[in-house]
Amino acid sequence: MLLGLGNVPTLETPLFFLALITYSMSIIGNILIVVLVVSQRHLHTPMYFLGNLSSLETCYSCTILPQLLASFLTGDKAISAHGCVAQLYFFGSFAGTECHLLAAMSYDQYLAICQPLLYASLMTWKVCLQLVAASWLVGMLVSAVVTVFLSQLKFCGPKTIDHFFCDLTPLLELSCSDTSMVTLPSIILSFLSVVFHFLFMLASYVYIIAAILRILSSVGREKAFSTCSSHLTVVTTFYCTLLIVYVLPRTALLRQLNKVFSFFYTVLTPLVNPLIYSLRNREVRDALRKALRKAKACTQGAQ
C-alpha cells in the first residue's frame, strides 16, 4: 500500500488537479522539444543533449504520475509487488541518467565557454553520442544492481509505505532482513556517480565563472552568463532536493518534508527543466518559430 501524500482529505482534490496539470503540461512540453530536435537535422550538439533530457523527463514523469493520479481518482492505494519493484528500477535508472546527462551538459557548456575555438572539433557528433549513450547505460546499470540486491531481501512485516511512490529508503524500512546488503552497494554506487559528477560539475562551473569574469565587454559577459545560469539553476535544484531527500536523517518532521521535496523533484522538475532550457535558448525559439510557420503554410495549403 502506498499511503500517498498524506491523509488530509481536503487537500486531495487540489493536489489531484496540480498533479494532473503539471503532468499533462510536462508531457506536452517535453514531447514538443523532442519533436523539434528530431525534425531539425542541422542543430548543434547542445540541442541533442536537450532532446535527450526531454525524452528522459518524459519517461521520468511516466514512472510515477499515472499511478499517483489513478490512486487519487479511485482511492485505491494498492500497488503490486512487481509494480513496486518496477517503479523503483525505472525511477532509479532515470534519476541516475539525469545525473550523468546534467554532467555531460555542463562539460559541453564548459567547452563552449572556455574553449570556444576548439569547441567544434572537441564536441563532435560522435563524442556527443558517446556521452549520451554512456549516461543512459550507466543509469540503467546502477539501478539494476540496486534493484537486484533489493529483490533478495525478505519482507515479512507491515505492507504500508508512507510515501507516494516506491522509493528505496521507505522500502528498506519495511524489510525484516539485514538491509546492509542493499545499503552498502547503493551508498558506494551513488557516492561514486553522484559525488563524482557533482564535483566534476562544480569544477566546470568554477572554470566557466572564472572565464566569464575575464570577459571584458558587459554584453558578452551577460550573454555567457545567461546561457549557463539556466543550467546552474537546474543542477542546483536537482542536487539540493536529492540531498534533502536521501542524505538527511528520516525523523518524523523530515519525513513529511521529505514527501514535499520528493513531490517537487518528481512532479515539478520534468515541467520546469524544458521550460528553463528552451525559453532561454535562441536555437529552440528559432526552431519553434520555423515549425509554426511551416504548420501555418501547411494548413493554408490544405484550404
Give me the residues that bind ligand NAG (CB under 6 A), please. 34, 37-38, 48, 51-52, 55, 128-129, 132
Beta-carbon contacts of residue 278 (< 8 Å; ≥ 6 apart): 29, 33, 50, 284, 285, 288
Q: Which is nearer to ligand NAG, 55 or 115 (CB)?
A: 55
To the nearest whole angstrom, how small is the minimum distance from the Cβ of residue 296 to ligand NAG? Answer: 25
To the nearest whole angstrom, how small is the minimum distance from the Cβ of residue 128 to ligand NAG? Answer: 4
**Contact in structure between 68 and 19 (CB atoms under 8 Å):** yes
Q: How far is CA 114 from CA 69, 126, 204, 207, 297, in A?
A: 45, 21, 9, 7, 41
2 three-state secondary structure: strand
Q: Which is nearer to ligand NAG, 31 or 69 (CB)?
A: 31
Q: Which is nearer to ligand NAG, 11 or 38 (CB)?
A: 38
To the nearest whole angstrom, how small is the minimum distance from the Cβ of residue 203 to ligand NAG? Answer: 23
Amino acid in position 179: T
Q: What is the spatial distance between Cα 278 and Cα 34, in angstroms, rounded to a whole number? A: 11
Q: Which is nearer to ligand NAG, 182 or 287 (CB)?
A: 287
Q: Which is nearer to ligand NAG, 118 or 129 (CB)?
A: 129
To the nearest whole angstrom, how small is the minimum distance from the Cβ of residue 57 to ligand NAG? Answer: 11
**Contact in structure between 224 and 112 (CB atoms under 8 Å):** no
To the nearest whole angstrom, how small is the minimum distance from the Cβ of residue 141 to ligand NAG? Answer: 18
**Contact in structure between 284 and 47 (CB atoms under 8 Å):** yes
